[in-house]
A and B are shown apart, each in its own frame.
Chain A
């Protein structure tokens, strides 16, 4: 749908944890590394989790904008790996940031697409007049059984968006959502720590292709826009080679899609990926450029969003996406097993 009221993105911030593990470490341990599109991935530190990464990203978002935490009327937290399944994680985030006590806080979870879904809900919060400013934080460090190849691709990261009616730098043109039901693609049953998949290869790809294509085409149709009118295209929730294939099928050249392929740099950061990609694009985009982002949630559906850049969103020195990418310490595979507590469940 198109949005009538002037709401938009004020600014954004990112955080990528410092630890990295290279594909060679997996090859030494397992004789293979499943994702061909990944050279190394970020690893959440022993004393970090989705909340602490989210706090860092949110603090950076305030450093990058003229707003401070006292303006926040709502704080939304999106993650598939929240430290608590019950006891709202957004409350910890709000307390750590020093939000007002009359802030409305909410967790969104259970699909890798919930990062972008939370952004859409935050825009609705502002557009409805319920409040003037909403902070949306997506942070994730998904965990899979280390005996399964799904673990190989899983990374970590966080991104935060401040949306509102004042000081807008990214205008929302419209959004489109598709809901689908697909079994076994990626799931985590209640009470389990590990994300799982029933690997059916092309079967799942065919159904997710349909969802993604209808979500992107649905948005462009509702706005009367064509791929050539966009400067950047981002597709998250599928691996980078598939994102490029689908982008081509939809009419977007590789050069428009490549900048958003953050999973190829930090690994699959679950619900953080869509907002990490959007933050990276907002950092490098310039006045009047147009961005289309689509976020797919395996087995769930997809959301898409069309944005026109209306101001500068350059990060402060040292806290942009590329700055965090450059700050890294490598660990070996045994250290990875220990830090992620695979050897001891606590």
Chain B
């Protein structure tokens, strides 16, 4: 299991819960997840920025029985196959997240999506919340 300790998870709560990214003060690129130095220019001076949660599907896949990492096997077992995508956010960063509340035929590369706050998994008795995406509603 890809164990993420509580201190590590807690440090990333603003970015996981509320999509707070790090905007490089030199080149203005937005980094999410936060990195020690800017992925675009390498400098290390950031300002926090709240991202819109809007983006597009860059690529996607379906996870079926046996395909999920252990922390998601309960979800696969009880709620069925689920979809994981690389989402390209409108501010630039690409992140990996589940796509919820959709049918397989609705998934397309380039499809507009929006962020939704969900339970990701549970570990050590603690609920790990975070961001997933759904097809844009409006």
The chain A residues found within 8 Å of chain B, CB to CB, are 18, 45-49, 51-52, 55-56, 83-84, 92, 95-98, 316-319, 327, 329, 335, 338-339, 341, 343-344, 346
Number of residues from B at the complex interface, CB < 8 A: 26
Q: Report whether A319 and B79 are in contact in the complex, using a CB–CB cutoff of 8 Å.
A: no
Which residues of the partner chain B approach A95 to less than 8 Å between Cβ atoms? 13-14, 17-18
Interface centre among A46, A329, A341, A343 (most CB of B within 10 A): A46
Which residues of the partner chain A approach B137 to less than 8 Å between Cβ atoms? 318-319, 327
Interface centre among B14, B18, B75, B122 (most CB of A within 10 A): B18
Across the two chains, which residue of chain B brings its CB closest to A18? B101
Question: Which residues of B75-120 are within 8 A (CB) of A?
Answer: 75, 77-80, 98, 100-101, 116-120
Instruction: Please name 11 pairs of A and B residues whose Cβ atoms are closer than 8 Å in the assembled complex, sorted by A.
Output: A18-B101, A47-B79, A48-B119, A51-B129, A95-B14, A98-B20, A335-B80, A338-B77, A338-B78, A339-B78, A343-B78
Besides A316-B138, A329-B101, A346-B74, 5 other A-B contacts (C-beta < 8 A): A46-B75, A46-B79, A52-B119, A95-B17, A98-B14
- Residue B127 is within 8 A (CB to CB) of chain A in the complex: yes
A49 to B120, CA, bound (A): 11
Which residues of the partner chain B approach A48 to less than 8 Å between Cβ atoms? 118-119
Interface centre among B78, B116, B119, B132 (most CB of A within 10 A): B78
Q: Report whether A344 and B78 are in contact in the complex, using a CB–CB cutoff of 8 Å.
A: yes
- Residue B50 is within 8 A (CB to CB) of chain A in the complex: yes
Q: Report whether A52 and B129 are in contact in the complex, using a CB–CB cutoff of 8 Å.
A: yes
A87 to chain B, nearest CB (A): 9
